[in-house]
């Protein structure tokens, strides 16, 4: 059956486009991360999110993005220096620092890098 379906005219599982096609080079250049993609199918309306949900989503992305791991370490190293060598940061303190101060620190870091480039 599989052999025969390759010779049938029309759309088959072999001629159908991929579900997740590679995005064009122009689209890839727009993204910071390697997970660029293009929408497939009919568009739908986007729901409005309240501020709390947006903050939670932003925090989740900042905490779980592998590309930002080196920035997490750099941020925590700077915080350890600020608090002094005699102070050890507890896991709950680290959580609070990352939740509250890391987004602003990262934004400043990116803005500084942009100024240096341009």
pLDDT string in tens for the chain (118-residue length): 566 655 666 666 666 666 666 666 666 565 656 655 556 667 677 778 889 998 888 889 888 888 899 999 999 999 988 888 777 888 898 888 888 999 999 999 989 888 888 7
Which of 31, 33, 36, 6 minimizes the C-alpha distance to 21? 36
CA 60 to chain centre: 9
- Domain count of the chain? 1
Can you tell me which residue has the tokens 């925590």?
76
Q: Which residues of 43-55 are buried (b: 16+ CB within 10 A; e: fewer)?
A: eeeeeeeeeeeee
Mark residue 55 as left, alpha or beta (left: phi above 0; alpha: psi -120 to 50; beta: remaining).
alpha
Supply the pLDDT for residue 40. 64
Q: Which residues constitute the domain of residue 81? A: 2-117
């Amino acid at each position: 059956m599989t052999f025969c379906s390759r010779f049938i005219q029309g759309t088959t599982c072999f001629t159908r486009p991929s579900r997740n096609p590679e995005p064009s080079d122009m689209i890839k250049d727009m993204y910071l991360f390697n997970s660029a993609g293009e929408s497939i199918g009919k568009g739908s309306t986007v729901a409005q999110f309240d501020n709390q949900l947006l903050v939670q989503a932003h925090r989740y992305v900042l905490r779980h993005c592998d590309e930002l791991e080196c920035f997490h370490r750099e941020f925590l190293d700077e915080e350890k220096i600020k608090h002094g060598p005699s102070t050890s940061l507890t896991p709950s303190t680290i959580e609070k620092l990352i939740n509250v101060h890391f987004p602003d620190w990262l934004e400043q870091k990116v803005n500084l890098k942009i100024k240096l480039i341009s």
